[in-house]
Structure 1
């Protein structure tokens, strides 16, 4: 099967080599590039989505992408420890490995867990972030049950050579240096950027007299493309991240909350390399587009626990080759078409291995493990003259280790005759393959289970978007309801003395309300709001438990964000105020005896409610002239004491000041 697939892709490659096309720079603001196999206008997209631009990131003054995502409805963010520490994102109450993360179209999740650690993703070179909520497996396959976060880095858009340099310091001892150099000519473009962030940090244990936990992140990003002819484009991207983060000691079954995390000398290191090469082709006078892409990721991780003992040394890889084509059904070119049909096919191989025999509990863990899959997808996009737009897709995945699956999705958008009211709705199914860790184990106290079944989901949402005050304001309200079956949990097996992953009986329900709104109060004052109400639970995996479900941890029931932008009359100074309120947040109760070897979960299923909290951030920018800008921000302005995870302290009030120049 795989050999036939590769022959097919090579045939497509030969076709692309005959005539390929150059992608022109387009205005991305009204387009959701990742919304389908072909780009979709936001005003016609049937699924729930949020777009964050580079201008939004600059106005908020955030350092990491995860900070910007906190304001997006349906998104939950959990940060373990200091800035740059492990940070995961969950969409609509799903697990973190149910969110597919793409950077310039490349899948970047850790191969062994399916999670992407947002702690290493700084905003310095980010042009655009698209958050697609709800099952996206019909287009993207496994890892997209909860949705997709697609990130696009900056390209050279101005003719000639341009550049940028920036420097920032923080009251916690942190420093940040950024540089970028871009060139664009008649036949192509090239962009290279660097960012180095040193974190002064804070003591994540909260112990009196504890040492500050800091870190370092160095990121390099290169992308470019060359227009061989008027109808030919080839190009690629390469990204490298080298980061280090200090960690403290986590004590399972500690007697008190204060004793859960204690001061230590641990450290986690990660080297991430991502890249892609592509060739685009336009056939039949622009009626048929083609793209052939090869992408890869390589992630190395090393670490020592809070006691300073080496506990991590592994390598994961991902290699993918994909072909995609889009055909205009009703016009001579894709630009003029209202009805499009797209086809995609891909082959993917994941590998993972432990590298150090001294930290594995059996020789078999040093064996490189792998998963392979082939997939085919088909999507129809239609725009009708009565205001109705439809996106319908299906995908078939053939796995070498698990059952094959076919997933479906349907989205519809309808603009009423008044031109200001839009209805949108979607339905979709999703699938999540067991991870390499779940399949093979790789830990002294965690045994793999090769008999696991993929997780499956089914869900729908419906919403209404309303413009008001002559388009100065807009509000979008969406209700969603999703069900996850065969959710993979864990259970202690006394026969082998280890925890084993299992498919839980029953269903995991996720339902809720998402609200987003914005209003230009005046030409200088703007207000934005986001709100999520979430009801997410999971089935109990322990047979002796009387209760059948338990609340999902690290997903707030209520999350409210408010943003206020104000530009001074000098038209050079702008302020941004962000307020986030979180309520109804639960974590696992790691203090119970169930976390001792052989322990059994307690009657409350090891859950504990954390205190509600409100965090306020304030930022500003001031343009000295057209090329030099001052920046400043105060993180946690009110010095709120709060927890996102039980036992882990969070950073207090911190002031940052910087300067940026472009040429």
Structure 2
């Protein structure tokens, strides 16, 4: 068992000399070496598997704090498997999230630029994000997680839980939760590698080693992504300079069962990135600001780690989990001509958590199964901001107490109730709650479900105390509050498929929004209503069809349409296996309807709404398995060569082609 808790001492500077390793990098090398050493020592005892991938049952690990069969989950939840990611050759998690009902993705330019995800019309910082149980929302970036740098390599499962979830997960979960789970090692030790190249000077690859037995499991992985890119500021505005992006990610994950009832596990993940940037200027012909070519960049580091112990008592009826997680996310913004640092941001979070769940049955009373959970979490968040105008360093501590009760009656009806109390050092203590119900009719394969929940989103440290040339913090901001409900039906259809339909309604009170050069709480409530459809079916042998559609209507308290929330979102993904299961074709189509966006006056004291046109993206992927250890693959992206904006004035990738090879040993 190893626990990795370190802080960054210094960041390597770019230049002709070799970079000096940071403390984080040295620790990560040691972690990877430890995982490889564990593999070498135990390889002879490992068992063969069917391909080295974790085959999870149909459960949710996010909806109710403990593993719950999907048939008993009353909330709206979508599961994306690692197999689906590989079929579509998806390289960034944000691209997969575009296909989830109720989710809108906005990227401020090409790859490597700020990428926001909004669930059911909520703001990007109202989405709680976990990676391997680590809460990764950045205290120094508006308590939001930037999906720009999260690569899809070695991911086994992504769960998206929609609707207010603060009763389970506290602040930041007003819109919902995204939980990313990486795979764990299984079977005899195996090594895998891939390399890929293509349009826009893009080169990327991954290498991993993994294995496991009933006693232990491990995986160590390294990924790299590099592209010359396109201009961040759209070429349609006359900008021509290419803006590149680079990403290097390593992670190690291991678990060990000391006894049949006590196990230890740990994970560590480190990402370093550099993104070229462009600046903002005033375009007289449009009457508002927009991006323009500039010699600027941002260097970033993300360090995530978690260690936990799990104990089962009373013949497995009492489960206890204790863990510690730590995150450190740094960003350094620079002007490159002349070279100078203009601002830095450092967000840190340390979390201690304990969860206790008691499982018991009452067969003589309603033939019921019960699960009672108590959890306590303590977070210490810190944000450090330094720029040429000012600097601040602020910290905040929060302790949350959670109680949840689940009951399944007659194997058909499942009910859940949750309540949470958050004690906060800066704001008034808050209480949130949630209730869900699911009724499963086995004969028809029908699940009826519904949920209601409340949420809270505390003002971010930057909203309270931030200061730049065009922003002044407002220490009088109040927490945002939300409530939402949904009802839905999941219907099993031919070919083992599922059709799901959901109607949802959400309200957010005291929504924090920009006003001039500061932030304010909007009076009244913003409202978002909509319908979500999902389909997964195999109508014939070797053919799989997945589709989703969302209609969403979001307005603020004054009746104005919320920005970057398209009313209509749709996606179709078709996968076909042929040539004796050696080849696979995949076609995906994503549609985004018209939407609104913000732009600003020259002095940033006023902002205006502009319209963004609808667009459709079509991608085609193919792979061929030459033998058990060698696969060739390739894909075409944006086949229609759409010209579009996700954020006004920021460039998007046109038609591109990519090809690669994957090896397994």
Question: What is the TM-score normalised by the length of structure 1?
Answer: 0.88
**Equivalent of residue 118 in structure 1, options 147, 153, 159:** 147
Instruction: State the match for 1:554 in structure 2.
Output: 564
Q: String of CA shifts for 1:420-469, please: whole Å, max 9, x gaps.
A: 22111100000001111012113233222222211101110001122222
**Equivalent of residue 586 in structure 2, options 568, 576, 582:** 576
Indicate the SS of the match to 1:111: coil
Contact 1:328-1:337 at 8 Å conserved across structures: no
1:201 and 1:26 mapped to 2: Cα distance? 34
Indicate the SS of the match to 2:167: helix
1:307 and 1:266 mapped to 2: Cα distance? 8
Residue 651 of structure 2 corresponds to residue 649 of structure 1: yes
Instruction: State the match for 1:264 in structure 2.
Output: 294
After TM superposition, the structure 1 = structure 2 runs for residues 74-473 of structure 1, keeping only pairs within 5 Å, are: 74-112=102-140, 113-158=142-187, 160-207=188-235, 208=238, 210-252=240-282, 254-256=284-286, 260-304=290-334, 310-330=341-361, 338-355=369-386, 359-362=387-390, 365-366=391-392, 368-385=393-410, 387-416=412-441, 418-469=443-494, 471-473=495-497
Segment of structure 1 superposing worse, 166-175 or 261-270: 261-270
2:398 and 2:443 mapped to 1: Cα distance? 47
2:75 and 2:562 mapped to 1: Cα distance? 24
Q: CA deviation at 1:383?
A: 1.3
Instruction: State the match for 2:27 in structure 1.
Output: none
Indicate the SS of the match to 1:338: strand
Instruction: State the match for 2:616 in structure 1.
Output: 614
Indicate the SS of the match to 2:229: strand
Q: CA deviation at 1:525?
A: 1.8
2:103 and 2:214 mapped to 1: Cα distance? 41
Indicate the SS of the match to 1:339: strand
Instruction: State the match for 2:506 in structure 1.
Output: 482
Q: Aligned in 2, Cα 1:596/1:203: closer, same or farther, shift over 3 Å?
A: same
Indicate the SS of the match to 1:202: coil
Indicate the SS of the match to 2:148: helix
Residue 537 of structure 2 corresponds to residue 519 of structure 1: yes
Contact 2:253-2:267 at 8 Å conserved across structures: yes
Q: String of CA shifts for 1:4-31, please: whole Å, max 9, x gaps.
A: xxxxxxxxxxxxxxxxxxxxx9852401
Q: String of CA shifts for 1:153-173, please: whole Å, max 9, x gaps.
A: 111012x31111110001221
Q: String of CA shifts for 1:336-376, please: whole Å, max 9, x gaps.
A: 98211011001110001124xxx3424xx24x210111110
Instruction: State the match for 2:597 in structure 1.
Output: 587
2:597 and 2:616 mapped to 1: Cα distance? 18
Q: Aligned in 2, Cα 1:43/1:306: closer, same or farther, shift over 3 Å?
A: farther
User: Please, which runs of 5 or more residues in structure 1 have no aligned partner?
Assistant: 1-24, 493-498, 540-547
1:613 and 1:82 mapped to 2: Cα distance? 16
Contact 2:538-2:544 at 8 Å conserved across structures: yes
Q: Aligned in 2, Cα 1:491/1:209: closer, same or farther, shift over 3 Å?
A: closer
1:252 and 1:398 mapped to 2: Cα distance? 45
Cα RMSD for the two superposed structures: 2.0
Q: CA deviation at 1:34?
A: 1.1
Indicate the SS of the match to 1:57: helix
Residue 521 of structure 2 corresponds to residue 491 of structure 1: no
Q: String of CA shifts for 1:260-319, please: whole Å, max 9, x gaps.
A: 222222111110000011111112221111011000000111012697763321211100
Q: Aligned in 2, Cα 1:73/1:307: closer, same or farther, shift over 3 Å?
A: farther
User: Please, which runs of 5 or more residues in structure 2 have no aligned partner?
Assistant: 1-52
Instruction: State the match for 1:34 in structure 2.
Output: 62
Indicate the SS of the match to 2:90: coil
Residue 647 of structure 2 corresponds to residue 637 of structure 1: no
Q: Aligned in 2, Cα 1:257/1:266: closer, same or farther, shift over 3 Å?
A: farther
Segment of structure 1 superposing worse, 442-451 or 190-199: 442-451
Q: Aligned in 2, Cα 1:124/1:280: closer, same or farther, shift over 3 Å?
A: same
Q: Aligned in 2, Cα 1:452/1:257: closer, same or farther, shift over 3 Å?
A: closer
Instruction: State the match for 1:8 in structure 2.
Output: none
Indicate the SS of the match to 2:469: coil
Indicate the SS of the match to 1:68: helix
Contact 1:250-1:306 at 8 Å conserved across structures: no
Indicate the SS of the match to 1:229: coil
Count of matched residue pairs = 606
Q: Aligned in 2, Cα 1:109/1:180: closer, same or farther, shift over 3 Å?
A: same
Indicate the SS of the match to 2:443: coil
Segment of structure 1 superposing worse, 297-306 or 339-348: 297-306
Q: CA deviation at 1:187?
A: 2.9
Q: Aligned in 2, Cα 1:171/1:444: closer, same or farther, shift over 3 Å?
A: closer
Q: Aligned in 2, Cα 1:254/1:58: closer, same or farther, shift over 3 Å?
A: farther
1:114 and 1:510 mapped to 2: Cα distance? 22
Q: CA deviation at 1:417?
A: 5.7
Segment of structure 1 superposing worse, 30-39 or 97-106: 30-39
Q: CA deviation at 1:110?
A: 1.3
Contact 1:258-1:647 at 8 Å conserved across structures: no
1:306 and 1:480 mapped to 2: Cα distance? 47
Q: CA deviation at 1:183?
A: 3.0
Q: String of CA shifts for 1:490-517, please: whole Å, max 9, x gaps.
A: 323xxxxxx2222110110011010001
2:606 and 2:215 mapped to 1: Cα distance? 65
1:235 and 1:518 mapped to 2: Cα distance? 34
Q: CA deviation at 1:655?
A: 0.5
